[in-house]
């Protein structure tokens, strides 16, 4: 059994989690604390890096203490410490990584630097005893990535976005529609009761044999529709039609990836995978295609430290560690 404490601070959520696990056993999340800065950044319509890093450093200590108290463990019982070391905002990554390395150094325990995307990718399997071979779709604010997963640490990139990430498209279209930041959950709300076939938005690259995505044409199509209509639009029809186009693109490419790789299982993760219509569409399509779908539980879709702790635990149990002094990497690739 190993106890691991991890920090996630790559963007605007400060998070600390403690997990316990052993090889071949179900990992238990003993504590998962998240302090969201969404309210702080809302008035700017996006994340302000300096504000984010200052708040990470202000909130981190309290969150570590709360995580230890919630888990009912002493700091001295932690076997290894981990933090996200990329990709993300440099000044935000530095806070969590430096804090975790400091704790590891003081406790004379190993440190593990974790790729944020690996955290998302593994999150559908946090409650499982193993990470089986599958096709992974990571859809977040910064990334849209399709991977062929052989097992933990064995990833092959199949495709990704050539311009905006899916969540970024949600956020930008939300802004165009005058909705609050972040746009993703607001568009989902606005789309309820809207007609997803009201506007025929483009599904860029959907018919192409490759597994890359493009969302900028879709975003521009929404903009032109708004400009042409001079404000005379149904926001709910527009939101529903935009959301449907994103779902069709993500689903079409993921099913194509499953066919091309022969994988029988799909893992869906990242903030956008919280979207109910997307989850339902994947569930229905996977059922029809005879594919197993591993969804990330709703509380672990957006940024959190439990996913970082889980990724770190698997590496720790496999005997890996990262040297102290490891730098952060704002553009750290997963593969």
**210: Cα within 13 Å, side-chain hemisphere:** 11
Q: Does residue 242 touch ligand KG4 according to CB under 6 A?
A: no
Minimal distance, residue 60 CB to ligand KG4, in Å: 18
Q: Does residue 123 touch ligand KG4 according to CB under 6 A?
A: no
Per-residue burial over 114-141, b if 16 or more Cβ lie within 10 Å, else e, is bbbbbbbbbbbbbeeeebbebbbbbbbb
Of 52 and 238, which CB lies nearer to Zn ion in the complex structure? 52
Contact pattern for Zn ion over residues 169 through 208, marking x by CB under 5 A: ----------------------------------------
* Residue found by looking up tokens 């899916």 in the block: 166
Minimal distance, residue 290 CB to ligand KG4, in Å: 27
Q: Does residue 140 touch Zn ion according to CB under 5 A?
A: yes
Of 12 and 237, which CB lies nearer to ligand KG4 in the complex structure? 12
Minimal distance, residue 120 CB to Zn ion, in Å: 6
Contact pattern for ligand KG4 over residues 166 through 205, marking x by CB under 6 A: -x--xx----------xxxx--x-----------------
Residue 119's binding partner among Zn ion, ligand KG4, none (Cβ under 5 to 8 angstroms by kind) is none
> For helices 216-229 and 235-261, what crossing angle results, to 10°?
160
Q: Which residue in 111, 123, 121, 227 sits closest to 177, CA to CA?
A: 227
What are the φ/ψ torsions at residue 224 (nearest 5 degrees)? -65, -40
In this structure, the number of other CB atoms found within 10 A of the CB of residue 79 comes to 15
Minimal distance, residue 162 CB to Zn ion, in Å: 20
Q: Does residue 330 touch ligand KG4 according to CB under 6 A?
A: no
Per-residue burial over 10-38, b if 16 or more Cβ lie within 10 Å, else e, is bbbbbbbbbbbbeeeeebebbbbbbbebe
Interface residues with Zn ion (CB under 5 A) are: 140, 303
């Amino acid at each position: 059994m190993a106890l691991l404490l991890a920090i996630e601070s790559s963007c605007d959520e400060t998070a600390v989690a403690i997990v316990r696990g052993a090889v071949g056993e179900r990992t238990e999340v003993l504590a998962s604390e998240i302090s969201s800065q969404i309210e702080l950044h809302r008035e700017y319509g996006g994340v302000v890096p300096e504000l984010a890093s200052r708040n990470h450093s202000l909130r981190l200590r309290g969150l570590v203490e709360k995580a230890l108290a919630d888990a009912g463990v002493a700091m001295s019982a932690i076997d290894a410490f981990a933090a996200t070391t990329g990709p993300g905002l440099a000044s935000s990554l530095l806070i969590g990584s430096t804090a975790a390395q400091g704790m590891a150094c003081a406790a004379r325990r190993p440190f593990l630097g974790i790729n944020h995307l690996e955290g998302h990718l593994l999150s559908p399997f946090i409650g499982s005893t193993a990470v089986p071979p599958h096709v992974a779709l990571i859809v977040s604010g910064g990334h849209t990535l399709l991977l062929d997963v052989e097992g933990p640490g064995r990833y092959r990139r199949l495709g990704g976005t050539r311009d905006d990430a899916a969540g970024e498209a949600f956020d930008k279209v939300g802004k165009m529609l005058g909705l609050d930041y972040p746009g993703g959950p607001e568009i989902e709300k606005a789309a309820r009761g809207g007609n997803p076939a009201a506007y025929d938005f483009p599904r860029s690259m959907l018919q192409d044999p490759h597994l890359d995505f493009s969302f900028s044409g879709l975003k521009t199509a929404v903009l032109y529709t708004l400009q042409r209509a001079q404000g005379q639009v149904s926001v709910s029809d527009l939101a529903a039609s935009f959301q449907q186009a994103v779902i069709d693109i993500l689903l079409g490419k993921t099913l194509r990836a499953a066919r091309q790789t022969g994988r029988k299982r799909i893992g869906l993760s990242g903030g956008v995978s919280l979207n109910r219509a997307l989850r339902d569409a994947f569930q229905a399509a996977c059922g029809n295609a005879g594919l197993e779908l591993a969804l990330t539980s709703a509380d672990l879709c957006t940024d959190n430290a439990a996913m970082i702790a889980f990724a770190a635990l698997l590496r720790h149990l496999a005997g890996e560690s990262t040297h102290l002094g490891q730098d952060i990497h704002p553009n750290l690739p997963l593969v």
